[in-house]
Amino acid sequence: MLTNLYIYLLPILAVAVGYLISLFLKPGSSSGFKLLLAFSGAYLLAVTVLELLPDVYRDPDSGIGVFIMLGLLLQIILEFLSKGVEHGHLHFQENSAAFPVLLLFSLSLHSLLEGFPLDNDNHLLHGVVVHKVPVAAILSVFLVHSKLSKTKVFLFLAFFALMTPLGSWLKNNVEFISEYSTFVNAVVIGIFLHVSTTILFEASKNHSFNASKLAVIILGILLAYFI
């Protein structure tokens, strides 16, 4: 019971922490924020490759590769709608009074799917949480600077925060989803591969890796391997 509560509450806490960070820092220009983003990308990629991939490939003839590619393509489509907030960017116009429905849909679907594999993998849970903090911070900066009311901002963030726990709950309680969990996890792998590699690619933009970025990326990979 405590394990399930941990799975459900930690992603919500990550969004709350991201919101608090947005109040005191400027995530788009903060070097510490960029290091956190690079660390999250490395950790998420390592956990995906070291744990999720071997698990779904237990049956090599199941056509899992197709579902991984579908997940990757799905994430490309979602990022077209969200303007890249999943990997630390947001290109929506600030001071807009229009409710960002497409952004909410994209982030919610992404978050819902990433909740499915979390029922039995604490390493992945930690990776998702670390990734969710900078995403929530970037998102909060946009929402706070928009012309949306405080009520709408709260509802947006609350809905976003609940999607990952909802995905975990559906996986644990809906028989149909549990039955096809391997294929759903393969889709999530494709999503994680795209998001994490995009983060790492942007961390080394213009081929300018500094020692700090390299160190946190190596740390993320090592922690995913040894913990």
Q: Which residue type is seen at 48?
A: T
User: What pTM did the predictor assign?
Assistant: 0.87
Work out how many domains the chain is built from and give that number: 1
Do residues 83 and 89 touch, judged by C-beta distance below 8 A?
A: yes
Q: Which residue type is seen at 157?
A: L
Q: How many CA atoms lie within 13 A of 83 on its CB side?
A: 13
Q: What is the C-alpha separation between 199 and 85, in angstroms, rounded?
A: 11
The 10s digit of each residue's pLDDT in 116-153 is 988 655 778 888 888 898 889 888 888 888 888 889 88
Tell me which residue range forms the domain holding 105. 2-23+30-226
What is the mean pLDDT of each successive set of 10 residues along the chain, which is 227 residues long? 73 92 70 82 90 82 87 92 70 64 90 85 80 87 83 92 93 86 92 90 62 86 83
